[in-house]
Amino acid sequence: MIWSTLLAVVCAAFGDGVAALKNPIIRGWNPDPHVLRVDDTYYIAVSSFNVYPGVPIYKSKNLTDWELVSHAINRPEQVPLYGSRTNNGIWAPSLSYIAGTFYMTTMAMWGSDPNARTWPRIFWVASKDLISWSDPIWADPYGIDPHIFRDPATSKDYLTLMGLNNGYDQIWGISQCQVNLKSGKCVGPYRRVWNGTLPVTASVRPEGPKLFLKDGYYYLLIAEGGTGATHRASIARSNSPEGPWEASPTNPLIFNGANTTLTIGNTGHATFTDTPDGKWFATFLAKRYVGKDSPLGRETFFAPVTWEDGWPTMNRGKPLLISQSFDYAPDQQWPPPPFEDTFEGSELAPHWYQLRTPYTQNYRLIEGGGVVLVPNVFTLSDRDTPAAILRKQKSVNMTFTASLLSSQKPVNAWESIGISAYQSESNHQDIGLRGCANSTSLCGFAASTITGPGPGVRANTTEIPLNFPSVPADFQLHIKSEPKLYKLGYSTGNATVNWVKEFKPDVLPSGFDGAMFALYASGNSLPWEWDGAEVGFERVKEVYGEEYYEDFISS
């Protein structure tokens, strides 16, 4: 017993093919991770774009298992995202721990408008315990990817972000001011401090600045090269948190963009931290590609950081391969046991999200288990908040099964209850039951909402004449995701699944976020019948399969 434990520890310490940390460390869309260590605990905050609650915070002591502990935006009135556009909402959080208080600094973007200028608004919220968060403090500057750093030498607080040089040229770069954490006001000059390492043009985007202090040098770590294949991390150092900044000879620190057949792509937006025993590592975002698709979107990745002459290197300066593992922690077992939610208790588990910001109560949990949806006029195709709860898709090889609550009453024509493989209001694939178009019974339906080809969104619905008088007991809806194909189906009891529709992952194109699986009900533009059927779900089960990724994608 002792020997085998010792052997396991020795093997873990030396890595080589034995249990060691693998990528990604947080699955499903979890982009722009900011890692922070406080004592023996690591925290990671990630972007949430258009979902509520916003800005998930994960916690781990061993780097292997990341528990979703809270959300920094957990009251609708903190930052209402009404009608916010796809890829907008809340982006790129950073975490700071200052005098016993956590600060989560980020920006909110409601939407771009061809006729007016709209800009991301910078704010932060504070918490002592990560559970209860303050109202936002809105900052003076606008821009992207803000970070607050308190200089331990002077106790001055710096707000660093991607900002404009001026409103006329509109050239983005890394800008900074000393800031008052209580008022959000700059208390020193607001200045451009670094342009990054790429040629300075109107389209360049040096973003994601993070400041830290190590062995007497201040470091400014940024993302640049755009958010696509040529995304990367770069760093500079200085004797002062205000610069001037000297770029590292080791830049770019992580760059998978030279070979677009790598399975891991779009690497960038890094933060660094050290372990209690003095090793360094980075977390950053990347995509896992299957062919040219990556429906899961940008996930949270890990790479070791090593130092030489005061300059860091990530992953020893090499592109990151999916086969690599790192002797910082034991590996994550995949596939994990199935996930099941029977909706017991008084609150929805934290990994369920709503779209944008709910302004009405869209669900309720019931005695004995189950979630009843409170449908409204909106659908998943509206830029609004339908009665829907969604979970991030974690693997390209998994199934998602939802069992409906039976109902006593019929539902009106077009009123629907279903599940969806959802990417955005313009890209989702649904299956469910709805009031038949031409009779008073319930029909099955499969619906497809896709962008293009050509302008606008096309929706296509197929009705399946099941002719149920009401939602039957033991009725299930299924989504099966294979690496290159999704299938939608339904079943009753233990009967085999009727697969009614399949589609390729390219109809769920990941933007800044990634695919989710939704439970929803909708009046489809009309209020749900005021005394109509109560509809909802009894349980959800996800079953995960093996994943076989090679370092390079085959076509």
Q: Give the residues lining the site for ligand NAG (CB under 6 A).
A: 61-62, 64-65, 173, 192-195, 200, 259, 261, 330, 397, 437-438, 460, 462-463, 474, 482-483, 493-494, 545-548, 552
3-state secondary structure 86-110: CCCEEEEEEEEEECCEEEEEEEEEC
- Residue placing its CB nearer to ligand NAG in the complex, 340 or 474: 474
In whole angstroms, the minimum distance from the beta carbon of 194 to ligand NAG comes to 6
In whole angstroms, the minimum distance from the beta carbon of 59 to ligand NAG comes to 9
In whole angstroms, the minimum distance from the beta carbon of 396 to ligand NAG comes to 8
In whole angstroms, the minimum distance from the beta carbon of 316 to ligand NAG comes to 18
**Whole-angstrom distance between the N-terminal and C-terminal Cα of the chain?**
47
**Angle CA 212–277–147, to nearest 5:** 20
In whole angstroms, the minimum distance from the beta carbon of 442 to ligand NAG comes to 13
**CA-to-CA dists, residue 412 to 148, 405, 435, angstroms:** 53, 17, 5
Nearest C-alpha neighbor of 20 from the set 303, 272, 288, 336: 303
Sign of the CA dihedral running 338, 449, 110, 145: positive
- Residue placing its CB nearer to ligand NAG in the complex, 374 or 543: 543
- Residue placing its CB nearer to ligand NAG in the complex, 121 or 192: 192
Residue 437 burial (C-beta neighbours within 10 Å; 0-12, 13-18, 19+): exposed
Distance separating alpha carbons of residues 448 and 429, to the nearest angstrom: 5
- Residue placing its CB nearer to ligand NAG in the complex, 144 or 193: 193
Closest-CB residue for ligand NAG?
A: 545
In whole angstroms, the minimum distance from the beta carbon of 209 to ligand NAG comes to 12
Distance separating alpha carbons of residues 89 and 325, to the nearest angstrom: 34
Q: What is the SS3 assignment for 299?
A: strand
* DSSP string across 539-553: EEEEEE------SB-
- Residue placing its CB nearer to ligand NAG in the complex, 240 or 462: 462
Cα 283 to the center of its chain, rounded Å: 14
- Residue placing its CB nearer to ligand NAG in the complex, 15 or 483: 483
- Residue placing its CB nearer to ligand NAG in the complex, 62 or 183: 62
3-state secondary structure 118-166: CCCEEEEEEECCCCCCCCCEEEEEECEEEEEEECCCCCCEEEEEEEECC
What are the φ and ψ backbone dihedral angles of 190, each rounded to 5 degrees? -95, 115
- Residue placing its CB nearer to ligand NAG in the complex, 73 or 174: 174
In whole angstroms, the minimum distance from the beta carbon of 493 to ligand NAG comes to 4
Nearest C-alpha neighbor of 234 from the set 200, 206, 192, 266: 206
Nearest C-alpha neighbor of 160 from the set 109, 196, 194: 194
In whole angstroms, the minimum distance from the beta carbon of 98 to ligand NAG comes to 26
Composition of the chain by helix, strand, coil, percent to 5: 5, 50, 50
- Residue placing its CB nearer to ligand NAG in the complex, 81 or 553: 553
* Conformational region of residue 124, where left means phi above 0, alpha means psi within -120 to 50, and beta covers everything else: beta
Nearest C-alpha neighbor of 509 from the set 423, 425, 430: 423
3-state secondary structure 14-72: HCCCCCCEECCCECCCCCCCEEEEECCEEEEECCCECEECEEEEEEECCCCCCEEEEEE
Distance separating alpha carbons of residues 332 and 339, to the nearest angstrom: 16
User: 24 preceded by cis ω (within 30°)?
Assistant: yes
What tokens appear for 485 in the block?
């194909």
Q: Does residue 209 contact residue 193 with C-beta atoms inside 8 Å? A: no
- Residue placing its CB nearer to ligand NAG in the complex, 50 or 449: 449
- Residue placing its CB nearer to ligand NAG in the complex, 382 or 482: 482
In whole angstroms, the minimum distance from the beta carbon of 491 to ligand NAG comes to 11
- Residue placing its CB nearer to ligand NAG in the complex, 110 or 289: 289
* Conformational region of residue 376, where left means phi above 0, alpha means psi within -120 to 50, and beta covers everything else: beta
In whole angstroms, the minimum distance from the beta carbon of 97 to ligand NAG comes to 20
Q: Does residue 433 contact residue 475 with C-beta atoms inside 8 Å? A: yes
- Residue placing its CB nearer to ligand NAG in the complex, 114 or 454: 454
Q: Which helix (H) or strand (E) holds 448?
A: strand 442-451
In whole angstroms, the minimum distance from the beta carbon of 538 to ligand NAG comes to 13
CA dihedral 154, 157, 159, 165 (to 10 degrees): -50
- Residue placing its CB nearer to ligand NAG in the complex, 66 or 520: 66
